[in-house]
Homo-oligomer: A and B are copies of this chain.
């Protein structure tokens, strides 16, 4: 078993045993194999629906390294990232990911990962209601941003 995945599994188990959240764990390393951060699901502990294992590990790594850019780092996660976490990984610029359990395994124990993937693919339409209003009023903020050449990340 990969040693970083073994650690991700242990982190998942500890979080579960402490009732911090779902049974998910993640580890971020640099290219040399040094461990930068670990994270487990802390949704229940922190009252934070965004505190999934991968996001917890990303926040911790960024805080330690004082950057929002993890281009040169690797993520190990005990389960295939849900769409929130997968998108967070993309925003963080991590490009190399190792996962163990699948979205179907997560569905098997009651989590909605698979359903959210279906929703994003247009196959589950009733999850939420998105209403489009006031674009003509808000677009000027974007124009100002572009004109001022603000940082894109």
CA distance A49 to B54 in the complex (A): 12
User: What is the bound-complex CA distance between A1 and B137, given in angstroms?
Assistant: 7
| Residue of B5, B63, B141 touching A137 (CB-CB under 8 A) | B5
Closest to A10 in B: B141
Chain A interface, DSSP helix/strand/loop, else mixed: mixed
Q: Roughly how many angstroms separate A22 CA and B127 CA in the complex, as a whole number?
A: 27
- Give bound CA distance, A5 to B138, whole Å: 8
Interface size class of A (residues with CB under 8 A): 35 or more
Contact check, A145 vs B90: say whether CB atoms are below 8 A apart: no
Interface residues of A (CB under 8 A from B): 1-2, 5-6, 8-9, 12-13, 16, 19, 22-23, 43-44, 47-50, 55, 58-59, 62-63, 66-70, 78-80, 82-84, 86-102, 105-106, 108-112, 116-117, 119-121, 127-135, 137-139, 141-142, 144-146, 150-153
Given contacts A5-B137, A96-B129, 15 further A-B pairs with CB under 8 A are A9-B141, A22-B145, A43-B153, A48-B68, A78-B138, A78-B141, A84-B84, A94-B128, A97-B129, A99-B130, A99-B133, A105-B135, A105-B142, A109-B142, A110-B146
